[in-house]
Structure 1
Amino acid sequence: MVDYEVTVYTGDRLNSTTLNPVHIKLVGTDGESERTWLRSLVIFSGSVSTYFVSCPNSLGQLVLIELDKRQFFLLPDDAWFPDKVEIKSPERDIYTFPIYCWINDSETHRFREGKALRIFDESNTFGQHARKQELSQRSLDYGWNLYYSGMPYTIKADGPTSLPNELQFSFTKMTEFAFTTVTGLAELQLKGLDDNRENWESLDNINEMLRFKGTLVSDYVQEHWKEDGLFAYQFLNGVHPTLIQRCKTLPKNFPVTDDMVFIPDGSNLSTELKEGNIYLCDYKNLDGFPANTIQGIQQYLMAPLVLLHKRPDDKLMPIAIQLKQTPADDNPIFLPTDSTYDWLTAKIFVRSADFSEHQINAHLLRTHLLAEVFVVSLLRNMPMVHPLYKLLIPHTRYTLHINELGRMRLMGPIGVFTKFAGSGGETLMKIMASSLSSITYRVLCLPDDIADRDMQDLPNFHYRDDGLQLWNIIFKYVQGVIQYYYKNDDEIQLDSELQTWMWDIFKYGFLSQPQTGIPQGFTTVSELIKFATMLLFTSSCQHAAVNSGQVPLGHYPEDHFTEEIPRQLQKEFKVELDRLSITINNRNKDLEIPYTYLDPKNVENSVAI
């Protein structure tokens, strides 16, 4: 007889303790063990428990384990969340089996040994069968759903609680989420604003509402919001830095002339256009859509064009605003030389349009919904043993749950956006469908996007500077991992799971539109590296730039990789992120408005809020 030493690591999560008997079977290249009871009365949350499984002979190299949890007599049928199982063989080899999922039924669950395997690496019959079985079950658990024609497909679910348990918020996450909601509502109640239907009569009413939620940035904005300098600065380093572009030829529908605008130091608009000192923000994505009606009152939705000038002191300033796309007598060009309130009103309408373009396109569509497509395709097409699954799964945490909440609480019939936003309701869906058709692969890849917008050398563009450094750090990490597993282009082309994963993203995320430039498959290692970098960047950094931070990028509490080289690459990845965080913090000390959105400590691993 030979003994296998089995160590079970139970997750340190609420309710991951089980009172039910747990059994294990070991499967190797030379045979399998008997189904063996792990003899414990209780397996506690956070516990590390060791057991022994005896076999008549060595099982050879271990391929997988089978775990099951059966309800016993009068004991409640509870759930159990094992993190991993480690097994020491009689030959003193150590095998690690990552799990990280809930077992809440009486079925047999198979888990592969942690070494990453591509589909053409599978030489063992047991492994091949387990791989097919896992993906077959995944295709049932994670279905596609068309939420609205022209939008990316979503997960097929009936709300967040219908998702598999491991995809739902943890108790801690849910508690934090609920606490934030409750405290926010309580504050509104204390201020008498929770059900107040009276109109605000002055800006002082708004200041009073914000008084207890002040931050360095919000305090600065409250003091300087009317100023042209802050208005222009927000296009670079606010929550929507992805629209501004250099302008060397004015759009035909924006007839600004030299005589209209004042350029300091004796220059003029024509000269500054040639010099590359003029920038444009064009909200054409919003053109032609009817605004929402809120409580019986028709709202207004502009599609402005904004012209900005980089002065010799490198400060960006607005010089002209047109609120609608088509020039007309009732669509004048507003200038800083207009009356104070005419110019201020024009800027307010631009900010209103920017809210819609930012929330619908830059935030919801380009991060939340695309990240959801990446997640669903990963779960449907990549088994846990696949190297791409191990690389990307940490960057999918909570994405499906937060998006299901968003569809219920924001986009649905009684959602906040539907009830209170001028671009809400049916208009939101139409704008998003139109915007999806104009998204390109280059827009999603930051270096390409910066080049296409000709924004490489504009001073004080911190989103660009921090973002490109993060892109390069992520690229280096992704490149190291992928090149470890894929030695040449032929191996990329042989990986049918990889190709199906990408095809699903192209089909369900970008609706099979070839003009987007989104890959339909991969032929080279470099193509995969770039796409995986974009995916990771979009799900973490880009979302942080247009939203806020949760779990720091580069922190991996779950050990999906077991080989030493990928684990070392993860450590190096975190070190480089920590270095960048120090650099950003040192720079911010000298800025009037610190740019913190892309400090790695404020960048979450995934779209999780």
Structure 2
Amino acid sequence: MAQYKVTVFTGSMAQAGTMNKLYIKLVGAEGESDHRWLANLKGGFYQGAADLFTVWCSAPLGRLLLVELDKKTLPLMPQDAWFCSKVTVETPEGETAHFPVYRWISDLEKHLFREGTAYRVFDEKHPLAIYCREMELKSRAQDYSWDVPGEGLPHAIKAESPLDLPCEVRFSFTKTTQFLFTASSALTELSLKGYANSKKLWKNIDDIGQVFTCNRTPISDYVQEHWREDEFFGYQFLNGVNPTIIRRCYQLPANFPVTDDMVRAFLHGASSLTDEIKKGNIYLVDYKQLDGVTANKINGKQQYLTAPLVLLQKTPNDKLIPVAIQLKQKPGEDNPIFFPTDSEYDWLMAKIFVRSADFSEHQLNAHLLRTHLLSEVFAVALLRNLPMVHPLYKLLIPHTRYTLQINFLARLLLISKDGVFTQFAASGGEGMFTILRRAVSSLTYSSLCLPEDIAARGLESIPNFYYRDDGLRLWDMIHRLVQGVIGHYYKSDFDVQQDSELQNWIKDIFIHGFLSRASSGVPQSLDTVKELVKIVTVAIFTGSAQHSAVNSGQFDYGGWMPNTPITLQLPPPSGKGQCNEALLFRTLPDVNTTVQGMSTMWLLSKQSTDFVRLGEYPEGHFSEDAPCRLIKEFQAELKAFSESVKARNSGLDVPYTYMDPELMENSVAI
């Protein structure tokens, strides 16, 4: 007789246990065990428990290939769902086989799970292993179907409600409870104070401050104090929530006719604009993707959205200062260029229109499209094309946690017909889809690769650019982890080329994420190990570091509404000398619009207690020594990097925390 010691691990999340009867069968290369009831003297399988059993076989089973799990109800007991984390089996030869499961089992069917050693599709030799692999992908293709949410937009998971999503990708009970509480509590508090339904204009800054006291952060307090300052206005293009649009100016755009004479008097330490451009001290921000977009109507009133151009100078003391703002793309007498020497309210209003435009550009392009929607594409392509035993599945699955449900909720609660963004943002409704389609059509693969993007924007040497500094270090760490893990399983380019599952994965990304646009630069197939390492690095970086950079500071910089108005109610000034304080408050959004924007940004910046930070892999999908060692080295690097970020931040007036691995989610989960 051959003795196998089986340990069954039940998940630690709420409601993971079961009172149903559980059965197991061990399947090896040379035989299989009986279908065995796991009789548990505790009366059930409890949350977070590890239960040990002995399975006897008449002869050794050879190399263990898989386990079969199923459950049955007891008389008078209801059927319930059970979350099995993993199964380990100690063989008669003294070896331990690991079977990662990480699945909810809610039906009475038999489920097969492979032994944890990673296998590429061309490695498979045993007919049962091949069959198991094929059946898993066939089932996944049904569970994870593509949907087309709109013409010209990346494709998404097909689901009518969160309950249509497979159990494994839904929020935990804890996450669901906290998300709903956060979503309702801030708005409820403001409703009780009479703000949420008020369609009145703001009368003064002090009134806005009364709403602002409901939720605050140290940085949002700093923003409230400094939002009018040119230096802080410039700082936000580098280290605020949208550090993706600024670029070095090598030549002034033809539609932005700023001359030396216009700015000579107030350029810092410079003789001319031309000289400053040559020295690399002039930077440009261009919101051309917003040009001509039909703005929303809110509270029955037409709203306004501009497409500004902003010129900034790096001063001799390494500050970034705005020196010229044009609020519309087409130059003309009714579209003046504003300068710091203009009247206080002319210049302030010009900056406010820029900040409002930045809100729409940031939310729809930098945040929604380039992190949320692309991460969903990476997730669905992974789940449809790679089985659990595939090494790339093991590496990428932690970076898909909660992404499908948070995106479903975004479509339902933010950008649907009745969504908050649709109702209360200047670019909501028709304008939103115009901007998204433009952003998709111009999206490039190289812009998702941070080192290439920084170089293309000419930002390699601009000082005090913490997004770049921290991001490049994280990119390098992630790239080396991916290079090590991929290199362990793919020794040659031919290995990549003959992996049909990998080829189907990248094909899905190209077709459903980038809409088959060859001009995007996204590969349609994978020919080399280097190409594979790059796309996997992009997928991990996009869903973790990049999302954190453009998401986590939303309330910090947007909670104080005058710094980031989500809409404006009057058109941009068509001449100089028109602006005053009264015009400012007629232009800012209504009270209820302000409240909706603040509450939403608070929700989207709030971390859940079941947060999993970058580098943590609570689900042990890898069992081989090499990838496990590489992950531990990655974790040690992240810890050291986090400490260095904290040390640097201790000397900054405005700490840059959005790329601190300790505060960064492993996936797009909020």
Which 4+ stretches in 1 moved above 6 angstroms? none
- 1:434 has 2:438 as partner: yes
The residue correspondences of 1:385-464 to structure 2 (distance < 5 A) are 385-464=389-468
| Alpha-carbon distance, 1:193 to partner | 1.6
- CA-to-aligned-CA distance 1:483-530 (integer Å, 9 cap, x gap): 011111110111010010000000000000000001111111111111
Structure 2 distance, partners of 1:43, 1:421, is 49
- CA-to-aligned-CA distance 1:426-462 (integer Å, 9 cap, x gap): 2111210110110111100000000000000000000
1:211 matched residue in structure 2: 213
Structure 2 distance, partners of 1:230, 1:191, is 31
1:48 matched residue in structure 2: 50
- 1:596 has 2:657 as partner: yes
- CA-to-aligned-CA distance 1:295-315 (integer Å, 9 cap, x gap): 221111101100001111111
- 1:342 has 2:403 as partner: no
Structure 2 distance, partners of 1:264, 1:510, is 43
Q: Do 2:3 and 2:56's aligned partners in 1 also have CA atoms closer than 8 Å? A: yes
1:249 matched residue in structure 2: 251
Specify the code of the residue in structure 2 equivalent to 1:12: S
1:301 matched residue in structure 2: 305
Structure 2 distance, partners of 1:31, 1:395, is 36
Structure 2 unaligned spans of 5+: 553-606
The answer to which structure, 1 or 2, has the higher relative contact order (CA under 8 A, 6+ apart) is 2
Higher mean C-alpha displacement, 157-166 vs 453-462:
157-166
Structure 2 distance, partners of 1:602, 1:266, is 41
The residue correspondences of 1:323-362 to structure 2 (distance < 5 A) are 323-362=327-366
2:26 matched residue in structure 1: 26
Per the alignment, in what secondary structure is the counterpart of residue 218 of structure 1? helix
- 1:174 has 2:235 as partner: no
1:570 matched residue in structure 2: 631
- 1:586 has 2:647 as partner: yes
Q: Do 2:270 and 2:276's aligned partners in 1 also have CA atoms closer than 8 Å? A: no
| Alpha-carbon distance, 1:111 to partner | 0.3
Structure 1 unaligned spans of 5+: none
Structure 1 distance, partners of 2:342, 2:267, is 15
- 1:557 has 2:559 as partner: no
Alignment size in residue pairs: 609
The residue correspondences of 1:93-172 to structure 2 (distance < 5 A) are 93-172=95-174
2:71 matched residue in structure 1: 69
Structure 2 distance, partners of 1:197, 1:298, is 14
Specify the code of the residue in structure 2 equivalent to 1:34: D
| Alpha-carbon distance, 1:264 to partner | 2.7
Per the alignment, in what secondary structure is the counterpart of residue 324 of structure 2? strand
Structure 1 distance, partners of 2:536, 2:184, is 38
TM-score, normalised to structure 1, is 0.99
Per the alignment, in what secondary structure is the counterpart of residue 95 of structure 1? strand
- 1:473 has 2:473 as partner: no
Q: Do 2:486 and 2:533's aligned partners in 1 also have CA atoms closer than 8 Å? A: yes
2:576 matched residue in structure 1: none
Per the alignment, in what secondary structure is the counterpart of residue 66 of structure 1? strand
- CA-to-aligned-CA distance 1:213-240 (integer Å, 9 cap, x gap): 2222111111111110000000000000
- 1:320 has 2:381 as partner: no
| Alpha-carbon distance, 1:266 to partner | 4.7
| Alpha-carbon distance, 1:593 to partner | 0.9
Among 59, 64, 84, the alignment partner of 1:82 is 84
- CA-to-aligned-CA distance 1:3-28 (integer Å, 9 cap, x gap): 21111001112111111111111111
The residue correspondences of 1:505-544 to structure 2 (distance < 5 A) are 505-544=509-548
- CA-to-aligned-CA distance 1:48-94 (integer Å, 9 cap, x gap): 11112222111110001111112233210100001000011111221
| Alpha-carbon distance, 1:419 to partner | 0.6
Among 461, 482, 485, the alignment partner of 2:486 is 482
| Alpha-carbon distance, 1:183 to partner | 2.2
Identical amino acids, percent of aligned pairs: 57
| Alpha-carbon distance, 1:551 to partner | 2.6
Structure 1 distance, partners of 2:531, 2:540, is 14
Structure 2 distance, partners of 1:332, 1:523, is 52
- CA-to-aligned-CA distance 1:264-289 (integer Å, 9 cap, x gap): 33511111111111000000111121
Higher mean C-alpha displacement, 197-206 vs 300-309:
197-206
Structure 2 distance, partners of 1:276, 1:427, is 35
Residues 69 and 266 of structure 1, relative CA distance in 2, 3 Å threshold: closer
Specify the code of the residue in structure 2 equivalent to 1:590: G
1:606 matched residue in structure 2: 667
Q: Do 2:294 and 2:430's aligned partners in 1 also have CA atoms closer than 8 Å? A: no
Structure 2 distance, partners of 1:161, 1:207, is 40
| Alpha-carbon distance, 1:210 to partner | 1.1
Structure 2 distance, partners of 1:140, 1:233, is 48
Per the alignment, in what secondary structure is the counterpart of residue 437 of structure 1? helix
Structure 2 distance, partners of 1:134, 1:555, is 26
Structure 2 distance, partners of 1:409, 1:498, is 34
User: Aligned-pair RMSD on alpha carbons?
Assistant: 1.0
